[in-house]
Amino acid sequence: MKVMVTGGAGYIGSVVTEELLRGGDEVVVYDSLYKGHREAVVEGAAFVKGDLLDTALLRETLAHHKVEAVVHMAADSLVGESVKVPAKYYRNNVLGGLSLLDAMLGAEVKYLVFSSTAAVYGEPAKQPIEETDPTQPTNPYGETKLAFERALRWYDSAHGLRFVSLRYFNAAGATERSGERHDPETHLIPIILQAAAGQRPEVTVFGDDYPTPDGTCVRDYIHVVDLAQAHILALHALAKGHPSSIYNLGCGGEGYSVKQVIDCARRVTGRDIPVSKGPRRAGDPAVLIASSARIVRELGWRPTQQKLDTIVESAWRWMQRKR
């Protein structure tokens, strides 16, 4: 297929691009580079520098490259920031998304795979979380992702635009080529590895009084390559007539606490990792674990790198190579 990846200069987008190209699909990356990196765009993909709000350029890109499907990953995605500046999230994640849909209708592109998030569930009533559980976001990031997901349903019924929305849990790890590089970095695993590498003095644990076995937050970490593979399955299913669907994406199991992730990184790197205790971070649910049974059942998705050690090792190897 000919696929446009918005946000393809970012962390997950570059890995999705790699996997699409490896599987024989053609890719055009559309990214403003306002957060991503030009060198993260995979060789072999076409690149267009542009903003989501530029509907005309999006439409021209879709038409010029004869795009058949879009993977929409460009977004703002920091929970804490979204609480402080909700307008930025409504503008980029909702208005930017609608601009993309307008361009897709104009260019008659009918398939979309969307990067949604576990943040649409808010503080879940039970674990593991299923797609049928209530969606009650506790921050503007989750709210704007849910708003766009809901818009997709109406665009499907009105215009036949078919979508798969993938609600990722915590993406982590790297390929040989692509890894996580945000500035500033807010994600736990790269922060821990930066501390292991001596690039920051310590890791602050945000709260150790949660109702979890060791008091720290528990998350479901999924290897970025397993995540990328789900996009490919989704795209190919849509092309074969699969109806619009929503899927969780995580490894399930018991998840890992912040303390367990730090211990894992100590094991993997063999380095000392200084830790300090800090207050809870606003908007953090205690536990987020996915049931991915639906995507396993319907699309045949299977995670292949579920061990946290394997995930952290891949991120550490990538970081070492970058130095």
Ligand X SMILES: O=c1ccn([C@@H]2O[C@H](COP(=O)(O)OP(=O)(O)O[C@H]3O[C@H](CO)[C@@H](O)[C@H](O)[C@H]3O)[C@@H](O)[C@H]2O)c(=O)[nH]1
CA distance 172 to 223: 5
Give the distance, in angstroms, between the CA of residue 277 and the centroid of all CA atoms in the same chain. 27
Catalytic residue among 121, 141, 155, 256: 141
Neighbours of 47 (CB within 10 A): 17
247 binds ligand X (CB under 6 A): no
Minimum distance from residue 181 beta carbon to ligand NAD (Å): 8
**278/261 Cα distance (integer angstroms):** 16
**Residue in the structure block whose two tokens are 């490896």:** 22
Smallest separation, CB 138 to ligand X (Å)? 11
Question: What is the Cα–Cα distance from 271 to 312, expressed in whole angstroms?
Answer: 13
Q: How many Å from the N-terminal Cα to the C-terminal Cα in the chain?
A: 36
Name the DSSP class of 240: T
| Residue 150 in tokens | 């809901």
User: From CA 100, how far away is CA 270, in angstroms rounded?
Assistant: 46
Structural contact between residues 80 and 282, judged by C-beta atoms closer than 8 angstroms: yes
Distances in whole angstroms, Cα of residue 89 to Cα of each of 37, 148, 151, 312: 21, 11, 16, 30
Compute the least distance from the CB of residue 286 to ligand X, in Å: 8
Smallest separation (angstroms) from ligand NAD to the CB of 171: 4
Asked if residue 256 binds ligand NAD (CB under 6 A), the reply is no
Known catalytic residue at 30: no
Site membership for ligand X, residue 224 (CB under 6 A)? no
Question: Closest separation between CB of residue 129 and ligand NAD, Å?
Answer: 13
Q: Which does 62 bind (CB under 5 to 8 A by kind): ligand X, ligand NAD, none?
A: none
Enter the tokens of residue 193. Answer: 């590895």
Residue 49 vs 138, nearer CB to ligand X: 138
Q: Which does 74 bind (CB under 5 to 8 A by kind): ligand NAD, ligand X, none?
A: ligand NAD
Which helix (H) or strand (E) is 30 found in, with range?
strand 26-31
Residue 139 is a binding residue for ligand NAD (CB under 6 A)? no
193 binds, options ligand X, ligand NAD, none, Cβ within 5 to 8 A by partner type:
none
Token reading at 50 = 């542009």
Q: Would you count residue 74 as binding ligand X (CB under 6 A)?
A: no
Measured from the CB atom, the residue of 150 and 277 that comes closer to ligand NAD is 150
130, two tokens: 């299923």
Does residue 182 bind ligand X (CB under 6 A)?
A: no
Q: Report the site for ligand NAD in 36-55 (rule: CB under 6 A).
A: 36, 51-52
Applying CB under 6 A, the residues found at the interface with ligand X are 77, 79, 117-119, 169-170, 186-188, 191, 203-206, 217, 219, 258, 281, 284, 288
Applying CB under 6 A, the residues found at the interface with ligand NAD are 7, 9-13, 31-36, 51-52, 73-75, 77, 92, 96, 115, 117, 168, 170-171, 182
Catalytic residue numbers, as ranges = 141
